[in-house]
A and B are shown apart, each in its own frame.
Chain A
């Protein structure tokens, strides 16, 4: 579904991503793990069009994504749940969800989507008239996820949903994501620093270090790798 080939990108002359190739099949749950500054967020921003690549190709559902203007990419079915949540603080929870549903499919499926989102993330229903900026970090993260789901995406991209949250809150959000994935079968691409949890639930994983994919494979392969065990799993 999402095919990234030989992608290079950066903010100035110094590239952040170097010849990165990643493949996400329909229905797959793919995790990208790696340390701070490895280029994970830049990768997502390049997929969404905020960062322009210096080389390589990205195709989504057979469409050359790099030829699509950034605001149009959401309409193809890519939902980006950004790092640091980035909800719209002066909009209410409900209005934030409506912004998620700016896409045609999101508008069409609005009723059904909103019911499911409220079922998965009940706190959003309780607080639907509250301004997003006044919610806690964990609640904002759930709103960011709900906002992504409201677009009826084909691919849900999650950039460090556990960032800056208390471990118990992060655990809860992770558990919700697994449940959403189990019920909906949605294709997901996850970037995480919580490596153990990310690899455990993913079908396929990539290790990104200093802009390079240094390793890829399924959970067992990655867990069996000595470097991953030492550097990320503390074993």
Chain B
């Protein structure tokens, strides 16, 4: 019983970060309908940016080992957002948006190859620049825990770093939800996603809306990556491990739904942690996809997906 609650707590904490990671991709897919296979590698870049900001850019000396990593991780967001902005401007915009709106498949084939190409370049470039040694953003919090309880003779231990990761994820998720729901920028992003042609009639620059979504999506996933890096060591090919989880989360939540992507990621985190109760660790990822298939079997549109035709 204690093991169950412990796994539940661990699943919720990691799920919140997975949720944020999926939201970054979900935002890009939801607004642009671009299949971005390089998103895991954008996250890897975010991890390294946070790592170097912390160790080499003086944040460690300025803020110390406890607060410093989180400052670096939050700063990696804007850095990757700027990077994503220019990747869209220089590359993605040529195979998406108004340029390909009238093509068969809306340019999806070209997007597939282009983003796979970007992924390869980032992975191999990362190998040259960062090397193959495992890196991690360790804080003293990573190896300490808060004890909840004992309640009914049970204690649950919450890893301090993971707990703060989850809180940061939820805070960013809340800010993003407010941005999307309330602000002019958020509403115009949703309008551009709903009907790009009609959005143009309203005077919304759809390509610019896409660029905003792409930059935001990269920044958000970079922060999620940095948060993961406080507990999991990483390397230049780490994106491959996560991009599939990201897509599973986005599909589970419902393609196009941003809040859905969060719950999709949360579900994956929970399944991953809970499965360790009954399955050997090696089967964690298999368990994720078994549950994924099961949910999609009964609810093909995902949790928040709507069965509507795009106009």
B200 A102 Cβ-Cβ under 8 A: no
Q: Of the candidates A11, A70, A90, which one forms a contact with B200 in the assembled complex, judged by CB atoms under 8 Å apart?
A: A70
**Nearest B-chain residue to A84, judged by Cβ:** B311
Chain A nearest CB, measured from B32 CB (Å): 15
Q: Which residue of chain A lies nearest to B102 when distances are taken between CB atoms in the complex?
A: A11
What per-residue 1/0 map shows which CB atoms of B59-74 lie under 8 Å from chain A?
0000000000000000
Q: A82-B198, A90-B306 are in contact. Are A99 and B187 (CB under 8 A)?
A: yes
* Contact, CB under 8 Å: A49 / B200: yes
Question: Which residues between 160 and 199 of chain B lie within 8 Å of chain A, taking CB atoms?
Answer: 184, 187-188, 190-191, 193-195, 197-199
Measured CB to CB, the closest approach of chain B to A80, in angstroms, equals 4
Confirm or deny: B213 has a beta carbon within 8 angstroms of a beta carbon on chain A: no
Is the pair B203, A90 in contact by a Cβ cutoff of 8 Å? no
Chain B residue, CB-CB nearest to A74: B203
Instruction: Report whether A88 and B203 are in contact in the complex, using a CB–CB cutoff of 8 Å.
Output: no
Q: Which residues of A contact B197 (CB under 8 A)?
A: 50, 82, 86
Q: Choose one: A71, A87, A91; the contact of B187 (CB below 8 Å).
A: A91
Number of A-B contacts (CB under 8 A): 74
Interface size class of B (residues with CB under 8 A): 20 to 34
Question: Would B198 and A102 count as touching, CB distance under 8 A?
Answer: no
- A residues 51-87 in Cβ contact with B at 8 Å: 69-75, 79-80, 82, 84, 86-87
- B87 to chain A: which residues have CB within 8 Å? none
CB within 8 Å of B: which A124-146 residues: 133
**Contact, CB under 8 Å: A103 / B194:** no
Contact of B202 (CB < 8 Å), options: A11, A89, A151: A151
CA distance A133 to B184 in the complex (A): 20
Distance A151 CA – B201 CA, assembled complex (angstroms): 11
State A55–B219 Cα separation when bound (angstroms): 44
Q: Contact string, A133-163, partner B, CB cutoff 8 A, digits 1/0?
A: 1000000000000010001000000000000
Q: Which partner residue on chain B sits nearest A132 by CB separation?
A: B194
With contacts A91-B191, A99-B188, A102-B188 known, is A86 near B311, CB below 8 A? yes
- A99–B195 Cα distance when bound, in Å, is 12
A48 at the interface (CB under 8 A from B): yes
Distance in angstroms from A11 CB to nearest chain B CB is 8
Please report the C-alpha to C-alpha distance between residue A103 and residue B201 in the assembled complex, in whole angstroms: 11
A49–B188 Cα gap in the complex (Å)? Answer: 19
Counting chain B CB atoms within 10 Å of each CB, which of A71, A82, A84 scores highest? A71
* Residue A100, interface by CB 8 Å: yes
Interface contact B191-A88, CB-CB below 8 Å = yes
The answer on a CB contact under 8 Å between A74 and B191 is no
Q: How far is the CA of A42 from the CA of B276 in the complex (A)?
A: 60
Interface of B is mostly: helix
Q: A82-B198, A133-B308 in contact; A88/B190 too (CB < 8 A)?
A: yes
- What distance in Å separates the Cβ of B63 from its nearest Cβ neighbour in chain A? 41
Q: Least Cβ distance of B304 to chain A in Å? A: 11
Any chain A CB within 8 A of the CB of B106?
A: no
A98 contacts the other chain (CB 8 A): yes
In the bound complex, CA of A72 to CA of B201 (Å) = 9
Q: Is the CB of B311 within 8 A of A151?
A: no
Kindly name the residue among A72, A75, A84, A95 whose own CB sees the greatest number of chain B CB atoms within 10 A: A95
* Complex interface bits, A7-19 against B, C-beta within 8 A gives 1, otherwise 0: 0000100000000
On whether A102 and B202 interact (CB within 8 A), knowing A86-B195, A90-B190, A133-B308, the answer reads yes
Contact string against A for B residues 102-116, beta-carbon threshold 8 Å, 1 for contact and 0 otherwise? 100000000000000
Closest to A70 in B: B200
Q: From B257, which residue of chain A is reached at the shortest CB distance?
A: A90
Instruction: Provide the residues of chain B in CB contact with A95, threshold 8 Å.
Output: 187, 190-191
CA distance A150 to B247 in the complex (A): 39
Residues of A within 8 A of B194 (CB): 88-91
Give the chain B neighbours of A79 by CB distance below 8 A: 201
What are the residues of chain B within 8 A of A98 when measuring CB–CB? 184, 187
Structural contact, A71 and B205, CB atoms closer than 8 A? yes
A71 in contact with B308 given A82-B198, A82-B201, A91-B191 (CB within 8 Å): no
Bound CA–CA A181/B201 (angstroms): 21
Which residues 186-234 of B sit at the A interface, judged by CB distance below 8 A?
Answer: 187-188, 190-191, 193-195, 197-206
A10: min CB distance to chain B, Å: 13
A99 & B200 in contact (Cβ 8 Å cutoff): no
Contact with A along B255-279 (1 / 0, CB 8 A): 0000000000000000000000000
User: What residues on B are CB-neighbors of A74 within 8 Å?
Assistant: 200-203
Give 11 pairs: A residue, B residue, CB < 8 Å, sorted on A.
A74-B201, A88-B191, A88-B198, A90-B190, A95-B187, A98-B187, A99-B204, A102-B184, A102-B203, A102-B204, A103-B203
